[in-house]
Structure 1
Amino acid sequence: MRLIGLALLPLAVAVPHTSHSTYDYIIVGSGTSGLVVANRLSEQKNTTVLVIEAGGSVYNNPNVTDTLGYGKAFDTDIDWAYKTTDQEYASGTQQTVRAGKALGGTSTINGMVYLRAQAAQIDAWETVGNKGWNWKNMLPYFKKSEQFQDPAQYPFLDGSGVAFDPAYHGFTGPLKLNDGLAQKLNATYQKLEVPVQYNPDPNGGDMVGYSLFPMTVHSELNIREDAARAFYYPYHNRTNLHVWLHTHANKITWKDGHNAVASGVEVTLSNGTTTVVKATREVILATGALKSPVLLELSGVGNPDILSKYKITTKINLPTVGENLQDQMNNGLQFDSKTSYYNKSADYVSYPSAAQLFPNSTAVGAELLRKLPAYAAQVASANGNITKARDLYHFFKIQWNLIFKYGIPVAEILLEPSGTMYDTEYWGSVPFSRGSIHLSSADPTAAAVIDPKYFMLDFDLHAQVQAARFIREVFKTKPFADMAGAETSPGLSTVAAGANDEGWADFIKDNFRSNFHPISTVAMMPKEIGGVVDSSLKVYGTSNVRVVDASVLPFQVCGHLQSTVYAVAELKREGSGY
C-alpha cells in the first residue's frame, strides 16, 4: 500500500480558549458523536457552537495514525483507562475500560472497525418505546456519514474477494471507509457441521455469517480516519465553531427557578482557572457511557440517595442515571501457523447465530427463557430495585426474541494471522448481565465507581465458552486445518478437548478483558420503565439538556459501536431540529 506523507494534509489545529463566554450550543466531548453534532450544527452560519474536550490534538500522534497500531495508545495520556471495581463474578479481578482522551475521542484509539447492528436490533429500540428509532429510518444516517472507498479503485485489493452492496453505503460523507480484507476461510466455515455462509456485506442489516468488514481508514494515505479528521479538521476555519482543548467539564449550571433549564457548563481551563461558559440554547453531553452519567450526577441529575452522600443538591430525581451498564467480555485463543505472515494480515470475522453456535440451540433457548424471571430479579436486587424486575424481564424477553426468534449473531469471532501464529479474539455479542456507574465524590476529577458485573448471569459464560469451542472446531476443519498448528493458548493441557463450561470457566474468567463497548447508562426509553432520555435524546425533566453518545443505546449491538454512534448523532441532529 502506498504511504503518502502526513505533510500533504492540513496542519493540526491548535484551538485556544477564546474571549467568548456565551454560545448557542455547548457540546461536552469531542468524540465520535460530539464532533458530528458540532459539525452539523455549525453548518448553520448564524449558530455558534463550542466543543469542550479534556484532551488535546493527536493529529500527528503515530499511536493514532498507524493503521496497524491498535493498542499502542493504551495507557498513554490519550487513554482514560477507566478502572472497574473488582469483579465478583469474574475471579475478583479489576478490569480496564479504554476510552480516548483526545480531539476525536475513542475513535482515535479504537480498532477502526465499521460494522453496524443487525436490523432487528435497531427495530427493538422502537419496540421498547422510542418512536421512529428503527432500521429503515436510521439507514440514511448510517450512509450520510460515509465516504465509502470502492475497493475496485485500489490495486492492492485486486483478487481479494472484497464485495459490497452500494445500496447500503454512502459515498459523499465526511468519514472515509476502507474495505480491504481478503476471503480465505470461506470454504472452512461452509464445511462446519452447521455451515456459516459468506456474507458479502454485513452492513446491510443482516450480519450473520463469515464476513469482511470496512474500517475507518483513509486508503490513499494509509492513516486512521478518526472523528476529528472526518468532522473537524476539514471544517476548523468556520468562525462559528470553537473547540477548547485540555478543558475539563465539571458540571452543568442551571438557571434560577424550579424548572431545570441549563444555563451553561462549569469548566476548568488548561491553566487551572475555573469558569462558567454559557449556553443560550442547549447543553449536549457527548462524553460516552462512562462519563455522561457522572456529569449528570455532578449536576444534580440522578438518584437522590447517591447524590446526598456527596452533598449534591438534587435538581432532577432520575434514579436510573448510571444504571443498565452493559459491556461485552473479550477472550482469545492462539494457534501456531504453518505459514509465516511477515506483515500483520487482515482480520477475518464470523458472526454465528445461536443456531450455528449452539449444537442444541432449541434446548438452550428454552432453558434461557425459563431463567429470565430469575435473571431480572437478580439484577434488580443487585441495584436495590432501582431498575424494576418486571421492566428488566421485558428487556430480557426482547433480547431473547432477538437471539432465538430473529437470529441475530450471538458472538463475534476474529481471526488475526501474525508472524507464525494465529491469534483469535471472541466475545458474546449480547450479554444479559447489567451493572452500573456512579460518582464517588463531588470532586469532578475523582474516579467513578464502575461495576459492569461481568459474568453475573450464567448465559454470558455459556456463550463465551461456546465461542471458544466454535474456534477449536474451525481450526480442526479442512481446508483451514492444513494451515494451522497446535493450540498454544490455552492449550489442551489447560482446557481439555470436550471440556464443559466449568472446565472452561477459570481460563475464561482469569483471562478476559472488557471489549470496550459500554452502553446504556443514560438509556433512551420511556421514563416509567427506567429511561433517562426521551426519543429526542433530551434528559427527562430538563428543557435543554441532551445526551448524544453510546450511553443512550438501550440494548447492546452486535456490530462495533462507532458506526451506530455516528448514525445516532447524524439522525438526532437532523431529526429533532436542534
Structure 2
Amino acid sequence: MYRVLATAPLLAATALAAPTAPAKYDYIVVGGGTSGLVVANRLSELNNVTVAVIEAGGSVFNNENVTNPNGYGLAFGTDIDWAYESVEQTYGGGKTQTLRAGKALGGTSAINGMAYTRAEDAQVDAWEKIGNKGWNWASLLEYYKKSETVQPPKADQLAGGATYDPAYHGTEGPLKVGWKNQMMNISFPEVLNSTYKANNVPYIYDIAGGKMAGWNVFPSTLDVELNVREDAARAYYYPFENRTNYHVLLNTEAQKLVWAESGAEATASGVEVKDSTGQTRTIYANREVILSAGSLKSPLLLELSGVGNPDILKAAGVEVKVELPAVGENLQDQTNNGFDGVATKSFSGTAVNVAYPNVEDIFGNRTAAIAADVKKQLASYASDASKVSNGVISEEAIAQFFEIQYDLIFKDLVPLAEILIYPTGSAFSAEFWSLLPFSRGNIHIADASAASAKINPNYYQATWDMTEQVGTAKYIRQLFNTAPLKSLLANETEPGAAVATDEQLSEWILDNYRSNFHPVGTTAMMPKDIGGVVDSSLKVYGTSNVRVVDAGVLPFQVCGHLVSTLYAVAEKASDIIKAEA
C-alpha cells in the first residue's frame, strides 16, 4: 500500500497564477519538468537573481496517479499527459503512435516508470568526440552524484536482491533514489541469476558506474520512507518553495519567444504566454530564456519564434529570425514490445530486475556476420536519414554519427536492448526495447501554432532496427527455455509459439510495438556544421541568450532510462549558466 499525503498544499506559496506574477525576471525557464526545475532551482541559489518557471500544467502533489510508486500508466490519457501523436509511420506498419510526456509540475518525471538507470560511459564520452568539449563520462558522473541522495537498501530490499556501490552515488542531492518497498523475494532474482549466468550474462553489482552490460536489481526515483514517487517537483521545487526569488507560473503555456529589436545575434527579451483563462501577455527576461519544454516541445517553440529552417518557417507563415535548419531534425526514439505468458506458480511483490544484453549476447556466433552486414549498410542508412532531413544534415555528418554508433554496438559492446522480466500473480511478462536505433526522424510546425506539429520518429526505416528487435525477441525465448526460468513459465500466450520465423516476428512487432517514450536529439548539442542546434554551453546558435536544457540536446540515445541522465545534464548546465551570470 502507498500513503497519500493529506497535508500537502494544492499550490505552493510561490506557485503563481500568471496574472499575479511579476512582469520581469532575470531568468525565464520554459517548462517545469525534469530539466527545467533543476535549472531553476540552481539558478535561484544566487540571491541576486530572480527566476520564473513557465509550466503549462498544474500541481500533481496529491494526484494518486502520480504518487503511487507502482502506478505506471495510470496517468496516461489523462489531463496531465501531453499524449503527442505521430504521423502515420511509413516503415512502422502505417499507423500513428502516441508519445507520452508529462503535462504537470514535474514534467515526465511525474508519469514515467521511475527507473533510475544511467548511461554507458562510452556513450557519454562520444558526446565529446563529436565536438562537445567537457561533456564526458568522468565529468557527468559527478553531476549524477550531485543530483542524488541514495537511500541504501533496507533488509527487505537486500533480501530482494538490491545491491549498490556507494562510490557511484550521491548523498546530499535533492533527488531521492532507492529501491521499491514490497520487492519480490530473493527466490525470483536467484532464478534470474542462474538463467542469465547460463547465457553468459553477468550480474552487475551497480549499473550506475557506467558499465551496464549484464543484469541488475535497479533503484527508482522514490521516497522510500513515504513510499511515493520522487518527481522533479518533490525534489527540486517543493522543499525550496519559500525562496522569494523562485516563482513557478502554473497552467501557463509558452507561445513563443519575444525578441529585442537590434543586435548582431538574436536576443530574447521575454516569452509570450497564455494562461488558463486564455489571456495572453509577455513575461520579460533581463538575462536569459532557457527552454526545457522537452524534446517534442522546445524545437516547436524555437520554430514558432522564428528560429529554424527558413523553408519550414516561411511555409508556416512565421517570420525568420535565425536561420538554423537543424531545429527539429535528428529525432531518435526507441520501440517497445512485450511477451506474455502464464506462470506455473503465483508471485507476489514488485519485480525490479533489468537486463542489458549486448550484441554478442543476443546474436552469439552470428555477431561477426551481422556486424559486417550493418557496416555495409551504414552509407545507405546515412543517405536515407539525410533525405528525411531534406538534406539539412549531410550524408557525411550522419555517416560520422553512425560510425560512432556502430563502434559503440560492435566494438565497445554497449548494451543493445533492455529486458524487463516480471511475473505478476499467475501472469508472466517480458517487456523489451531496442536502445540504439539507426532510424532518424523529425518534428516541425505546419502553421503558426504548436498544435500543428508533425511528429515523425520514422520507426524502422533502418533495417537494423527490426533486425535487432527480432533478435531480442528470439533471445527472450532463449531465456524462457533456459532452466531454471523455464520451470516458471507454463506457456507463452503473446505472441505465441506459432510466431517463430523472422518474418512472423517482424509482422508481430509491427502490429504491436509502441513508442518507448524516450525521444531525443531534436535540438542536438554538437557543432552547427554537422547539424547542431546548441553549442557545448547549450546556447542556441545565432542567439545571445537562449539555451535549451532537456532531452532534445542529447546527440545520441543512451542505454539507461533518460531521467537520471537529464538530471545530471541539467545540473551541469546550471553550473555553466551560473559561471556566466
How far is the alpha carbon of 1:145 from its aligned partner? 0.7
Aligned to 1:440: 446
Q: What is the 5 A alignment of 1:220-299?
A: 220-258=225-263, 259-299=265-305
Do the aligned partners of residues 69 and 5 (structure 1) sit closer, same or farther apart at CA in structure 2, a change above 3 Å counting? closer
Q: Distance in 2 between matches of 1:268 and 1:231?
A: 25
Aligned to 1:22: 24
Q: Distance in 2 between matches of 1:362 and 1:349?
A: 26
C-alpha RMSD of matched pairs (Å): 1.3
The answer to whether the 8 Å contact 1:12/1:233 transfers is: no
How far is the alpha carbon of 1:12 from its aligned partner? 4.5
Q: What is the 5 A alignment of 1:334-373?
A: 334-343=340-349, 345-359=350-364, 360-373=366-379
Aligned to 1:545: 546
The amino acid that maps onto 2:279 is T
The amino acid that maps onto 2:465 is D
The amino acid that maps onto 1:529 is I
The amino acid that maps onto 1:457 is A
Aligned to 2:467: 462
Q: What is the 5 A alignment of 1:39-118?
A: 39-118=41-120
The amino acid that maps onto 1:322 is G
How far is the alpha carbon of 1:155 from its aligned partner? 3.6
Q: Distance in 2 between matches of 1:467 and 1:353?
A: 10
| 1:135 aligns to 2:137 (yes or no) | yes
The answer to whether the 8 Å contact 1:347/1:417 transfers is: no
Do the aligned partners of residues 10 and 269 (structure 1) sit closer, same or farther apart at CA in structure 2, a change above 3 Å counting? closer
The amino acid that maps onto 1:543 is S
The answer to whether the 8 Å contact 1:51/1:243 transfers is: yes
Q: Distance in 2 between matches of 1:176 and 1:6?
A: 17
Q: What is the 5 A alignment of 1:7-18?
A: 7=6, 12-13=11-12, 15-17=16-18, 18=20
How far is the alpha carbon of 1:418 from its aligned partner? 0.9
Per-residue CA deviations over 1:13-54 (Å, capped at 9, x if unaligned) read 253333410100000000000000000001111110000000
The answer to whether the 8 Å contact 2:120/2:560 transfers is: yes
| 1:322 aligns to 2:324 (yes or no) | no
The amino acid that maps onto 1:60 is N
The answer to whether the 8 Å contact 2:31/2:55 transfers is: yes
Residue in structure 2 matching 1:450, options 448, 455, 458: 455
Unaligned runs of at least 5 residues, structure 1: none
Q: Distance in 2 between matches of 1:398 and 1:209?
A: 22
Aligned to 1:160: 160
Aligned to 1:396: 402
The answer to whether the 8 Å contact 1:113/1:216 transfers is: yes
Q: Percent identity?
A: 54
Aligned to 1:190: 197
Q: Distance in 2 between matches of 1:144 and 1:9?
A: 27
Per-residue CA deviations over 1:142-197 (Å, capped at 9, x if unaligned) read 0001010000xx343242232111100001111011124552300111112xx101
Do the aligned partners of residues 9 and 155 (structure 1) sit closer, same or farther apart at CA in structure 2, a change above 3 Å counting? farther
How far is the alpha carbon of 1:505 from its aligned partner? 1.1
The amino acid that maps onto 1:61 is N
Q: Distance in 1 between matches of 2:8 and 2:122?
A: 40
Greater alpha carbon shift after TM alignment, 32-41 vs 359-368: 359-368
The answer to whether the 8 Å contact 1:348/1:415 transfers is: yes
The amino acid that maps onto 1:485 is A
What SS does the corresponding residue of 2:149 show, helix, strand or coil? strand
The amino acid that maps onto 1:442 is A
Per-residue CA deviations over 1:278-317 (Å, capped at 9, x if unaligned) read 0000000001110000000000000000000122111100
Aligned to 1:170: 170
Q: Distance in 2 between matches of 1:238 and 1:357?
A: 51
Q: Distance in 1 between matches of 2:295 and 2:21?
A: 31
The amino acid that maps onto 1:187 is S
The amino acid that maps onto 2:573 is K
Aligned to 2:35: 33
The amino acid that maps onto 1:373 is A
Greater alpha carbon shift after TM alignment, 181-190 vs 35-44: 181-190
The answer to whether the 8 Å contact 1:129/1:525 transfers is: yes
The answer to whether the 8 Å contact 2:203/2:215 transfers is: yes
How far is the alpha carbon of 1:220 from its aligned partner? 0.7
How far is the alpha carbon of 1:81 from its aligned partner? 0.2
Aligned to 2:309: 303
Do the aligned partners of residues 19 and 6 (structure 1) sit closer, same or farther apart at CA in structure 2, a change above 3 Å counting? closer
How far is the alpha carbon of 1:4 from its aligned partner? 4.8
Q: Distance in 1 between matches of 2:290 and 2:320?
A: 20
The answer to whether the 8 Å contact 2:79/2:103 transfers is: yes
Per-residue CA deviations over 1:432-469 (Å, capped at 9, x if unaligned) read 0000000121024x241000000000000011011111
Q: Distance in 1 between matches of 2:157 and 2:112?
A: 23
The amino acid that maps onto 2:125 is D
Aligned to 1:475: 480
Q: Distance in 2 between matches of 1:190 and 1:571?
A: 38
Q: Distance in 2 between matches of 1:19 and 1:379?
A: 44
| 1:513 aligns to 2:514 (yes or no) | yes
How far is the alpha carbon of 1:10 from its aligned partner? 6.2
The answer to whether the 8 Å contact 2:435/2:557 transfers is: yes
Do the aligned partners of residues 482 and 85 (structure 1) sit closer, same or farther apart at CA in structure 2, a change above 3 Å counting? same
The answer to whether the 8 Å contact 1:12/1:60 transfers is: no
The answer to whether the 8 Å contact 2:205/2:216 transfers is: yes
Greater alpha carbon shift after TM alignment, 380-389 vs 467-476: 380-389
The answer to whether the 8 Å contact 2:524/2:533 transfers is: yes
Q: Distance in 2 between matches of 1:362 and 1:487?
A: 31
How far is the alpha carbon of 1:389 from its aligned partner? 0.4
The answer to whether the 8 Å contact 2:4/2:67 transfers is: no
The answer to whether the 8 Å contact 2:8/2:62 transfers is: no
How far is the alpha carbon of 1:569 from its aligned partner? 0.4
Q: Distance in 2 between matches of 1:447 and 1:78?
A: 20
Greater alpha carbon shift after TM alignment, 309-318 vs 73-82: 309-318
TM-score by length of 2: 0.96
Per-residue CA deviations over 1:329-387 (Å, capped at 9, x if unaligned) read 000001211121245x2132110111111121111111111110111011112222111
Greater alpha carbon shift after TM alignment, 309-318 vs 172-181: 172-181
Tell me how many residue pairs correspond in the alignment: 567
The amino acid that maps onto 1:147 is T
Q: Distance in 1 between matches of 2:442 and 2:324?
A: 14
How far is the alpha carbon of 1:90 from its aligned partner? 1.2
Q: Distance in 2 between matches of 1:321 and 1:158?
A: 46
Unaligned runs of at least 5 residues, structure 2: none
What SS does the corresponding residue of 2:29 show, helix, strand or coil? strand
The answer to whether the 8 Å contact 1:436/1:521 transfers is: yes
Q: Distance in 2 between matches of 1:347 and 1:404?
A: 28
What SS does the corresponding residue of 2:273 show, helix, strand or coil? strand
The amino acid that maps onto 2:294 is G
The answer to whether the 8 Å contact 2:289/2:546 transfers is: yes
The amino acid that maps onto 2:250 is L
